[in-house]
């Protein structure tokens, strides 16, 4: 077993860390307070080559492995979860399904422009009545005269409504046979009549990321906009979530790493009873626990990435990583706030933003409860 990163992976970590410290960190507080999505930072991430990192070069990607991409998400989340969310959702949920299930014509049409940072793509799965129960989808698609007629809505869709959003891949109910729903995924481009993208505001977390509601009112798209084959929608959705779990896990890991570093720095600077609080056993032991959790999370996530890159089954490890990294993000940020004391509750200290941002990680792309269900099925079967 070799736990050493390659020289290329080390370079990616340092490059993205430098970018996050130089470009993202100075803007993170202001963007969070304003609830403002940054096209400028998104464009810069594209220029850095962070979109489509794992795609072959012929589609505009970098041809890198999964772990390299996950390290990039981790390093962004170490500084700001909103920008990490933009990157993770676009790569895993936006680009991923088109790359893995699209025709060659669809890949050449969409992927190159989605790797530049000038366009973003969304994955429309969640609905007001379809969350953990994805099969409760109500959005319908009827094939009439060579066109799909889509009606329904989606909610909590990342990268769904900004000026950079170029469209979405949407899960629909294309038929019902003997009471069983047939699910089909369909590509819907921005500007299609009947397709409306509405930004969602006043979020507790990821306030500088783009979250949207999508509405379809007799929205007509060509029959060839189907992604994969008819009835394959559920399979595409589940596969997409397996890949997406790795990026959400990376967000939890990066956020926890950032919170740990803040706690260490503050504990060395803050003095009580005539000495730095880091010298008190209660604080030093808490930090020891935090550091151990972060290291365990990293090892588990990197193993899942290795399995995927090796072409081995990784669904169980992806679910474990998403579950554990999300939960330790909660625990580590809570400890970091406790170490900061009253200052940890003030917006002047970034640990307050980290405490808010971690909360979605146990909900988005499959709740912690759903992850445990997936893990249990894999272990018990």
The pLDDT assigned to 242 comes to 87
pTM of the model: 0.96
- Domain locations in the chain as residue ranges: 7-120, 121-231, 235-380
Average pLDDT over residues 158-182: 96
Name the maximum alpha-carbon separation found in the chain: 80
The DSSP annotation for 123-167 comes to: EE--BTTBSS-GGG---EEEEETTEEEEEEEEEEEETSSSTTEEE
pLDDT tens per residue across span 110-139: 999 999 999 999 999 999 999 889 889 999
Are 123 and 168 spatial neighbours (Cβ–Cβ below 8 Å)?
Answer: yes
Q: pLDDT tens digits, residue range 228-256?
A: 999 999 999 889 988 899 999 999 999 99
Q: Considering the domain 7-120 in this protein, what is its CATH number?
A: 1.10.540.10
Please give the full DSSP string across 195-206, using - where no structure is assigned. Answer: EEEEE----SS-
Q: Which of 21, 269, 365, 369 is catalytic?
A: 365
Q: Is the pLDDT of residue 35 over 80?
A: yes
Closest CA to 236 of 244, 307, 128, 155: 244
pLDDT at 15: 98
Average pLDDT along the chain: 97
H/E run at residue 39: helix 39-47
43-47, 68-72, 240-244, 260-264: the lowest-pLDDT one: 240-244
Identify the CATH number of the domain defined by range 235-380.
1.20.140.10
Q: Give mean pLDDT, residues 16-22.
A: 98
Task: Please tell me the predicted confidence (pLDDT) of residue 103.
Answer: 97
**Cα(205)–Cα(377) distance, rounded to whole angstroms?**
31
pLDDT value for 2:
87
CATH for 121-231 (2.40.110.10, 3.40.50.970, 3.40.718.10, 1.10.510.10): 2.40.110.10
Q: Percentage helix, strand, coil, to 5, in the chain?
A: 55, 20, 25
365 is known as an active-site residue: yes
Mean pLDDT of 268-281: 98
């Amino acid at each position: 077993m070799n736990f050493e990163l390659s020289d290329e992976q080390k370079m990616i970590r340092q490059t993205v860390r430098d970018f996050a410290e130089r470009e993202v960190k100075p803007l993170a507080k202001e963007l969070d307070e304003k609830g403002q999505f940054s096209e400028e930072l998104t464009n810069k991430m594209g220029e850095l080559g962070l979109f489509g990192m794992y795609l072959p070069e012929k589609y505009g990607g970098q041809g890198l492995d999964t772990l390299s991409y996950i390290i990039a998400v981790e390093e962004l989340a170490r500084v700001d979860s909103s920008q990490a969310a933009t990157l993770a959702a676009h790569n895993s949920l936006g680009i991923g399904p088109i790359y893995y299930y699209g025709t060659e014509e669809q890949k050449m049409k969409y992927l190159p422009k989605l790797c530049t940072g000038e366009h973003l793509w969304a994955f429309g799965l969640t609905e007001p009545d379809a969350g953990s129960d994805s099969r409760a989808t109500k959005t319908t698609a009827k094939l009439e005269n060579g066109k799909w007629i889509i009606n329904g809505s989606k909610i909590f869709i990342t990268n769904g409504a900004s000026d950079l959003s170029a469209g979405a891949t949407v899960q629909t109910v294309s038929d019902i046979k003997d009471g069983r729903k047939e699910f089909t995924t369909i590509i819907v481009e921005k500007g299609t009549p009947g397709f409306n993208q509405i930004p969602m505001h006043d979020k507790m977390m990821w306030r500088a990321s783009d979250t949207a509601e999508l509405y379809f009112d007799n929205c007509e798209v060509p029959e060839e906009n189907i992604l994969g084959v008819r009835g394959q929608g559920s399979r595409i959705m589940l596969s997409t979530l397996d890949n997406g779990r790795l990026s959400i896990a990376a967000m939890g890991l990066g956020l926890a790493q950032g919170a740990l570093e803040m706690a260490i720095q503050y504990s060395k600077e803050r003095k009580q009873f005539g000495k730095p609080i880091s010298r008190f056993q209660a604080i030093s032991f808490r930090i020891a626990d935090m550091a151990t959790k972060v290291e365990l999370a990293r090892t588990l996530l990197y193993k899942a990435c290795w399995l995927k890159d090796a072409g081995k089954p990784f669904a169980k490890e992806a679910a474990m990583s998403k579950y554990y990294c999300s939960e330790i993000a909660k625990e580590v940020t809570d400890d970091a706030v406790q170490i900061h004391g009253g200052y940890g509750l003030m917006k002047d200290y970034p640990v307050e933003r980290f405490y808010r941002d971690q909360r979605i990680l146990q909900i988005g792309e499959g709740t912690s409860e759903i992850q445990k269900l997936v893990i249990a099925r894999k272990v018990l079967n």
